[in-house]
Structure formats: C-alpha cells, structure tokens
Amino acid sequence: MKTKLCIDNITYYCNMFSKRICLISIAVLFLAACQQQETVVMKEDGSIELVVEHVAGDNYTYDTGDESISYMNYPFNVGYVRGYKSETVKCILVSKEVSARSRILAKPIGLFSTIEKDTRNSYIIAIPSDSTSHSIEMENFSDLVTKYSSVKNIIEFWLLNRCGFGCVKSEGWGNESAAKFVLEKLKET
C-alpha cells in the first residue's frame, strides 16, 4: 500500500513537473512569437514603407498649450516609416490621392530639416516606388530643385508657417544621401 502511494506521488510530481516544463516552453514560444520582429527601415532597392497619417486636405491643428489653432490644411500627404513612428522624423509623400492608414512603398528623394521649440525635426521627402502613383514626373532631388521648385517651395513654406510666423526655423535641404542618413539614424533609436 505504501509502495502504491509512493508510486502515485512520484507519478503526480512527474506529471506536475512535465506540465510546468510544458507550460514554460509554451510561454517562451508564445513570447518569442509575439516579439516584434525588427523592421527594416530601408529595403535593398532603397525604398521604404510609409504609413500615411494625414492626407492632403486634412485639417491641420496646432496645439499652442493654451489653445488649438486650426487655419491651414495639409497640402501633401504626411506619414512615418512603418515600424519607426517618431515625433521628430516625418515623411512627406508627393503622390496621387491616397487614403489615411495606407501603406505605400516609397523612394526617399530629399530631406528638409527644421528647428521647432529647440527640437530638430527631419522631413523625408518621398515619391511612390510605383510610377503609376506619381502625381508629377519627379524621380530625384535634382528634379525637385530644378523642374519642380514650386513643389519644393510649397513644402518649405507650409512647414515653416504652419504654426504661425517665426515659430519654425529652417535648417535647410538635403538630397537623397541626407535622407538615407536620417533613416539610418532612425534605425538606431
């Protein structure tokens, strides 16, 4: 009788031990599966995946702390690099009409940097990788500066004046290499 009780206890503890090991293994596998896989900022072909937050025409609201001011609409699509949402790095997508929350494969062609409230902000200028989604025939920074300087001026004017006169200071423009540099820095944060 004591032997049977001893065997039953051993079996019970072995089963409990196995269940614990099994549960721990399942928990570890579950956590590993739930871990966010590292998102690639820039693909091998130089493109990035953008998530559109605001589409051209959306109402822009600026919070001054005391009140919210809304007097300008977005003249372009604004978003972020998928997997790397940042308050200081935004993407401006020059394209045909898109909808909010769209994921767009895009090619970075330039960079515009500003200082606002002692914070440096970088705006990656991008065009869709799919040429059928282009609103204008712009392929690179050189096209933006020469053929489409009015688009460049609209981007700069809006970013510098969206919260009132003098609230944002320009840090200047950069080409594709400058945009790629900011994207690599984004990956490190």
Closest CA to 127 of 119, 115, 138, 112: 138
pLDDT at position 42: 72
Q: Are 109 and 144 in contact (CB under 8 A)?
A: yes
Q: Residue 2 contacts by C-beta under 8 Å, 6 or more apart in sequence?
A: none
* Mean pLDDT, residues 10-34 taken together: 50
Higher pLDDT: 2 or 158? It is 158
3-state secondary structure of 18: helix
> Mean pLDDT in the chain?
83
Q: What is the pTM of this model?
A: 0.76
Per-residue pLDDT tens for 41-70? 778 888 999 999 999 999 998 887 888 888
Higher pLDDT: 162 or 80? It is 80
Q: Beta strands of 68-118 (E only): which ranges?
A: 68-73, 77-81, 89-93, 103-116
Which class for 1: exposed (0-12), middle (13-18), buried (19 or more C-beta within 10 A)?
Answer: exposed
The rounded distance, in Å, linking the Cα atoms of 164 and 84 is 28
pLDDT at position 58: 94
